[in-house]
């Protein structure tokens, strides 16, 4: 596999950052050592809440989100999306700059980690922070080429660094073996264990060769679940050998490479009937570190998630450490910043009290946090920060190669899932040979109806623009994922004036019953009227099974600008569909 290193794209920015000495772990107090193991979530614009924790050395860094798309849902369209994302990107950089400034004022001046869930498909949080949209792992896998994966993740690494962040909470290494999985689907490289393992390793190497630590998740595998761990506790009730063969095996290629693994909030009775993986010494210590020989950092999944957050925070902290996690994603309720800001201080105080109980009162070290456990984890984190080059002046990123990588991924990955020759609309152009032997292509009146939220407006506009360049007349309707009667009426009116239909569906974590019913109605109408139609699965390809009446079906696994342009070119007959489904559809 070709290695994608883009050092030539970097240039030193004098005076941007100043070198800081690397402290010995023993120079840190116990509370400061604990801080190197605590990573809260910060919403952009809310950094002031964590100023004291940063100044006191009570955090190692942050995983970053935006409240928009998580707590609030702004009204976005093709006219304001670019302006919104540009504003959000400035907020992201300001948040990071402030936190870095306070870290430089702390006692040891230890640099911070800033980690991102930089994924595509159903994970839209990066877009709400103004980051360029990543193609999903499933689109990359549909290309069938490790080289495509590596090129895209190399670009991702540089996009992360360009934003001021420095760590990836990915790649997702789950094998999506359950078509009804509400949380993974297009985040996965597919349902073939060997290919998922190979693509994940390619992603890990590309990230780390470009200076960004990778985090394999969600160990030992979240792909067989039918429950969203953000809401409740999933259980994967598979025999141990099947767990190994289908899920754990996908993580094995990266065990000696990845800087971090992230544990799953999933119970695996065959491995540990009493604890989710995040709280299981059997899974993290005995299996991952012991049997598999993993040496890097183990990070919990978000500790505010519904699968694990129904107990006091002190219990969550204790169970996380005793299981073998080195870094705790210790987030409070996303809507309660006053609660969240207290958690680093609570963790430091709890560890100090627990260690004192063991050392001064003779309490059982097997049920309390020990000084050795905290020191070991803090040392691992400091070593990683040194490896990342955080203590040295950082080069500034100018070019990332993102556009070329994303376009290549789209050209190689967009998939023609179904095409009935009799009613196919590929090519969409109506062409005929004239008497002089030349070919003349007339225009179609195309109605494009997309069920997708506003954050995808520009991506869908790129599709329509490409059709227009190809000589089509296009009238378009964009309805939200949770479509209503007014959206149905707009779609029917659009179809009435068209002689061809392109319909884009967005089955995400769950299928929206209104959307499904409206799509089925539209497909029925074009059948009755004898008009050609094409369906584009915009996100989750498993939704395709809900529409057997669609004769022509494309899958883009996440509506990026590039994937939608390529989809339009395929429908026009101007580009081949090269991708292959990386999952089996029901």
Query: Does residue 370 have a pLDDT over 60?
Result: yes
Cα 321 from chain centroid (whole Å)? 26
pLDDT of residue 64: 98
pLDDT of residue 15: 32
Query: Does residue 499 have a pLDDT over 60?
Result: yes
In this structure, the answer to whether residues 123 and 229 fall within a common structural domain is yes
In this structure, the answer to whether residues 418 and 469 fall within a common structural domain is yes
pLDDT of residue 7: 38
Q: Which of 374, 389, 404 marks a domain boundary?
A: 389
In this structure, the answer to whether residues 476 and 381 fall within a common structural domain is no
Helices 146-162 and 402-413, packing angle to 10 deg: 150
Mean per-residue pLDDT for 112-122? 95
- The 10s digit of each residue's pLDDT in 536-585 is 999 999 999 999 999 999 999 999 999 999 999 999 999 999 999 999 99
Q: How many domains does the chain have?
A: 2
Distances (CA, A) of 368 to 317, 328, 348, 362, 372: 10, 16, 14, 11, 11
Report the chain's terminal Cα–Cα distance, integer Å.
33
Q: How confident is the model at residue 523 (pLDDT cuts 50, 70, 90)?
A: very high
* Average pLDDT, rounded, for the chain: 93
In this structure, the answer to whether residues 293 and 204 fall within a common structural domain is yes
Mean per-residue pLDDT for 182-193? 95
Read off the CATH number of the domain in which 373 is found: 3.20.20.300
Query: Does residue 13 have a pLDDT over 70?
Result: no
Query: Does residue 51 have a pLDDT over 70?
Result: yes
pLDDT of residue 425: 78
Residue 583 resides in a domain: no
In this structure, the answer to whether residues 152 and 259 fall within a common structural domain is yes
Mean per-residue pLDDT for 73-88? 97
In this structure, the answer to whether residues 337 and 431 fall within a common structural domain is no
pLDDT of residue 261: 98
pLDDT of residue 1: 47
Give the separation between CA 415 and CA 577, rounded to whole angstroms.
6
Q: Which residue has the higher pLDDT, 430 or 85?
A: 85
Q: How confident is the model at residue 258 (pLDDT cuts 50, 70, 90)?
A: very high
Read off the CATH number of the domain in which 433 is found: 3.40.50.1700
pLDDT of residue 232: 80
Residue 72 resides in a domain: yes
Retrieve residue 181's tokens. Answer: 């999985």
In this structure, the answer to whether residues 173 and 282 fall within a common structural domain is yes
Give the separation between CA 444 and CA 429, rounded to whole angstroms.
7
pLDDT of residue 172: 98
Q: Which of 389, 424, 455 marks a domain boundary?
A: 389
pLDDT of residue 18: 54
In this structure, the answer to whether residues 440 and 381 fall within a common structural domain is no
Mean pLDDT lowest among 233-242, 329-338, 385-394, 509-518: 509-518
pLDDT of residue 17: 47
In this structure, the answer to whether residues 437 and 551 fall within a common structural domain is yes
In this structure, the answer to whether residues 299 and 432 fall within a common structural domain is no
Residue 407 resides in a domain: no
Query: Does residue 305 have a pLDDT over 60?
Result: yes
Residue 577 resides in a domain: no
Residue 61 parent element (H or E): strand 61-65
Query: Does residue 270 have a pLDDT over 90?
Result: yes
Q: Which of 323, 355, 389 marks a domain boundary?
A: 389
Residue 584 resides in a domain: no
Q: How confident is the model at residue 79 (pLDDT cuts 50, 70, 90)?
A: very high
In this structure, the answer to whether residues 47 and 161 fall within a common structural domain is yes
Residue 158 resides in a domain: yes
Residue 554 parent element (H or E): strand 552-555
∠ CA(241), CA(242), CA(245), 5° rounding? 85
pLDDT of residue 365: 96
Residue 304 resides in a domain: yes
Helix (H, G, I), strand (E, B) or coil at 154: helix
Q: How confident is the model at residue 478 (pLDDT cuts 50, 70, 90)?
A: very high
Residue 508 resides in a domain: yes
* Boundaries of domain holding 436: 414-572
The total of other beta-carbon atoms located within 10 Å of residue 564's CB is 28
Specify the residue for token string 């993986």: 277
- The 10s digit of each residue's pLDDT in 407-459 is 999 999 999 999 977 667 788 877 767 777 777 777 789 999 999 999 999 99
Give the separation between CA 283 and CA 320, rounded to whole angstroms.
12
In this structure, the answer to whether residues 177 and 253 fall within a common structural domain is yes
Mean pLDDT lowest among 152-161, 393-402, 502-511: 502-511
Identify the DSSP state of 286.
I
Burial of 442 (0-12, 13-18, 19+ CB in 10 A): exposed
Instruction: Return the sign of the alpha-carbon dihedral for residues 245, 248, 250, 256.
Output: negative
pLDDT of residue 511: 65
pLDDT of residue 5: 47
Percent of the chain's residues with pLDDT above 70:
95
């Amino acid at each position: 596999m070709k290695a994608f290193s883009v050092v030539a794209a970097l240039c030193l920015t004098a005076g941007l950052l100043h070198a800081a000495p690397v402290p010995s772990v023993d120079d840190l107090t116990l509370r400061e050592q604990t801080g190197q193991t605590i990573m809260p979530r910060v919403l952009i614009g809310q950094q002031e809440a964590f100023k004291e924790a940063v100044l006191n050395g009570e955090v190692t860094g942050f995983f970053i989100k935006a409240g928009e798309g998580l707590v609030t849902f702004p009204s976005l369209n093709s006219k304001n999306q670019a302006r919104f994302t540009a504003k959000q990107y400035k907020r992201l950089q300001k948040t990071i700059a402030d936190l870095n400034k306070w870290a430089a004022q702390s006692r040891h001046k230890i640099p911070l980690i800033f980690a991102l869930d930089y994924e595509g498909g159903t994970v839209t949080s990066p877009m709400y922070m103004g980051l360029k949209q990543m193609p999903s792992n499933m689109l990359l896998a549909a290309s069938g080429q490790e080289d495509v994966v590596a090129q895209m993740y190399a670009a991702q690494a540089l996009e992360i660094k360009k934003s001021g962040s420095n760590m990836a909470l990915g790649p997702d290494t789950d094998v999506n073996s359950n078509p009804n999985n509400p949380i993974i689907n297009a985040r996965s490289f597919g349902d073939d264990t060997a290919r998922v393992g190979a693509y994940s390793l390619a992603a890990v190497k590309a990230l780390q060769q470009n200076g960004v630590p990778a985090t394999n998740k969600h160990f030992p595998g979240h792909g067989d679940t039918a429950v969203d761990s953000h809401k409740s506790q999933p259980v994967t009730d598979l025999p141990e050998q099947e767990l190994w063969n289908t899920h754990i095996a996908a993580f094995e290629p990266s065990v000696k490479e990845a800087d971090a693994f992230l544990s799953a909030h999933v119970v695996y009775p065959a491995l540990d009937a009493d604890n989710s993986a995040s709280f299981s010494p059997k899974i993290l210590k005995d299996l991952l570190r012991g049997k598999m020989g993993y040496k890097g950092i183990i990070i919990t999944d978000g500790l505010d998630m519904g699968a694990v957050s129904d107990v006091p925070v002190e219990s969550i902290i204790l169970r996380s450490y005793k299981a073998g996690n080195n870094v705790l994603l210790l987030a409070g309720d996303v809507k309660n910043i006053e609660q969240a800001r207290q958690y680093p201080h609570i963790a430091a105080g709890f560890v100090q009290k627990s260690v004192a109980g063991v050392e001064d009162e003779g309490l059982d070290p097997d049920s309390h946090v020990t000084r050795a456990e905290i020191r070991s984890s803090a040392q691992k984190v400091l070593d990683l920060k040194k490896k990342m080059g955080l203590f040295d002046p950082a080069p500034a990123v100018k070019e990332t190669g993102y556009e070329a990588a994303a376009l290549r991924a789209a050209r190689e990955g967009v998939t023609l899932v179904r095409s009935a020759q009799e009613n196919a609309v590929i090519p969409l152009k109506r062409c005929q040979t004239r008497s002089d032997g030349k070919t003349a292509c007339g225009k179609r009146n195309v109605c494009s109806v997309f069920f997708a939220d506003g954050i995808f407006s520009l991506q869908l506009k790129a599709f329509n623009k490409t059709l227009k360049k190809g000589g089509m007349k296009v009238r378009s309707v964009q309805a939200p994922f949770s479509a209503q009667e007014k959206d149905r009426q707009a779609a029917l009116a659009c179809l009435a004036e068209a002689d061809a239909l392109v319909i884009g569906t967005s089955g995400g974590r769950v299928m929206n019953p209104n959307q499904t019913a409206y799509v089925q109605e539209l497909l029925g109408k074009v059948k009755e009227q004898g008009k050609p139609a094409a369906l584009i699965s915009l996100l989750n390809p498993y939704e395709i099974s809900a529409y057997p009446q669609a004769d022509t079906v494309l899958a883009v696994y996440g509506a990026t600008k590039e994937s939608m342009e390529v989809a339009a070119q395929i429908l026009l007959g101007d580009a081949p569909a090269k991708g292959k489904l990386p999952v089996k559809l029901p």
